[in-house]
């Protein structure tokens, strides 16, 4: 009798272990996949391939494990296991610092810098994505534990789609109309339509601008867009992204060819000049439209009564 009971208990324990294992495995796999999926959308901002990918996949794996273990731990009444999540938060804040330090260091050696706002945005995204992985793996393991692993996979995929849907920020194309424009000189002063960009003293430089320079105008769609484009960090991010995508006709000693975005205070319109290696205007417009709106630049004066009132 006693032997049979023990055998039954052992079997039960084994079933429980298998269930825990299946739960954790589902959560870990789905969470790590989620991190990989989110990394794939990063290439424009952060192309350090493949070592950075390994680093972030490894951190994603750690985050997924933490999320996946939480459910079986709570089911086993191991409530203290939840404190692991607090540990995770500390870990991922370090990810943000690591990314920031690295990007600031390499920013000095790029021809068109990202600027501190863009870097902060990227670093923050890297931190946040680890929390999103915890969320995905938690959702997957919860469904796997409560129902069965196939449901866990389904829940994980749903969580991923949810993350994809809500974490997609706005693009410049959503807040402003981007159109081609003509650049011209008045004496030594460079203008894009009526927007003064800079003063260029040398004739050779002016000739290069006249031959190869390209200009676009960004017209904010509303007052929110106007304030976003007023942000200097946002404009630096546009200059960086466009230069990275189209190439830039400059070297360290030709500061004249740094792409510039200047604002007409009266209208809020922003003019941009660049001397790209690839002079294709359609690609230039697409590059500008696809620059992300930085979180630090995102403001909504129209959401406040005073802002709406001032807008009329």
Site residues (CB under 8 A) for another protein? Answer: 108, 187-188, 198-205, 252-256, 258
Please report how close the Cβ of residue 187 comes to another protein at its closest, in angstroms.
6
Q: Which is nearer to another protein, 101 or 174 (CB)?
A: 101
**Distance of closest approach, residue 178 Cβ to another protein, in angstroms:** 25
The stretches of 170-231 forming alpha helices (DSSP H) are: 172-175, 203-212, 223-230
Cα–Cα distance for residue pair 305/282, rounded to 1 Å = 38
CB-CB contact of 61 with 28 (8 Å) = yes
Which residue, 1 or 252, has its beta carbon nearer to another protein?
252
Please compute Rg for the chain using Cα positions.
26
Which of 47, 201 has the CB closer to another protein?
201
**H or E, element range at 219:** strand 214-220
Q: How far is the CB of 204 from another protein (least distance, A)?
A: 7
Min dist CB 247 to another protein, Å, is 20
Contact 122, 45 (CB under 8 A): yes
Asked whether the beta carbons of 69 and 81 are under 8 A apart, the reply is yes
Cβ 186 to another protein, closest distance in Å?
11
Query: Which residue's CB is nearer to another protein, number 88 or number 272?
Result: 272
Q: Please say which residue, 3 or 109, places its beta carbon nearer to another protein.
A: 109
Token output for 235: 């404009």
**Complex with another protein: residue 182 or 251, whichever CB lies closer:** 251
Residue closer to another protein (CB basis): 103 or 132: 103
Terminal-to-terminal C-alpha distance of the chain: 86
The least distance separating another protein from the CB of residue 279, rounded to whole angstroms, comes to: 22
DSSP states of 124-161: HHHHHHHHHHHHHHHHHHHHHHHT-HHHHHHHHHHHHH
Bridge partner residues of 260 (DSSP): 273
Q: Nearer to another protein by C-beta: 182 or 253?
A: 253
**Residue 30 belongs to what H/E stretch?**
helix 2-40
What is the rounded distance in angstroms from the CA atom of residue 210 to the CA atom of residue 204? 10
For residue 59, which of 30, 32, 98, 96 has the smallest C-alpha distance? 32
CB of 26 to another protein, least distance (A): 47
CA distances from residue 221 to 186, 228, 260, 269 in whole angstroms, order as listed: 29, 11, 21, 10
In the complex, what is the shortest distance from the CB of residue 206 to another protein, in angstroms, rounded to a whole number? 10
Structural element, H or E, at residue 190 = strand 189-192
């Amino acid at each position: 009798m006693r032997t049979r009971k023990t055998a039954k208990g052992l079997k039960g324990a084994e079933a429980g272990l298998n269930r825990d294992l299946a739960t954790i495995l589902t959560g870990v796999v789905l969470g790590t996949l989620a991190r990989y999926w989110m990394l794939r959308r990063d290439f424009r901002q952060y192309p350090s391939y493949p070592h950075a990918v390994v680093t972030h996949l490894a951190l994603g794996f750690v985050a997924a494990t933490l999320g996946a273990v939480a459910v079986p731990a709570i089911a086993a009444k191991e409530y203290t296991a939840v404190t692991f999540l607090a540990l995770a938060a500390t870990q991922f804040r370090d990810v943000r610092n690591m990314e920031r330090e690295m990007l600031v260091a390499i920013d000095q050696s790029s021809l068109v810098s990202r600027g501190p706002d863009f870097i902060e945005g990227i670093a923050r995204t890297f931190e946040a994505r680890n929390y999103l992985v915890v969320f995905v793996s938690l959702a997957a393991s919860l469904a796997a534990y409560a129902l069965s692993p196939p449901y866990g996979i389904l829940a994980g995929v749903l969580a991923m789609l949810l993350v994809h849907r809500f974490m997609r920020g706005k693009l410049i194309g959503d807040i402003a109309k981007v159109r081609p424009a003509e650049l011209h000189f008045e004496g030594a002063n460079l203008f894009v339509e009526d927007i003064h960009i800079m003063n260029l003293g040398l004739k050779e430089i002016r000739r290069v601008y006249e031959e190869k320079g390209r200009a676009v105008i960004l017209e904010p769609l509303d007052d929110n867009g106007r304030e976003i484009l007023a942000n200097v960090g946002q404009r630096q991010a546009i200059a960086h992204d466009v230069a990275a995508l189209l190439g830039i006709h400059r070297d360290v000693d030709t500061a004249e060819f740094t792409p510039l975005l200047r604002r007409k205070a009266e209208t809020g319109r922003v003019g941009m000049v660049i001397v790209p290696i690839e002079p294709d205007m359609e690609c230039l417009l697409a590059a500008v439209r696809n620059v992300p709106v930085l979180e630090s630049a995102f403001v909504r004066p129209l959401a406040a009564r005073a802002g709406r009132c001032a807008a009329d």
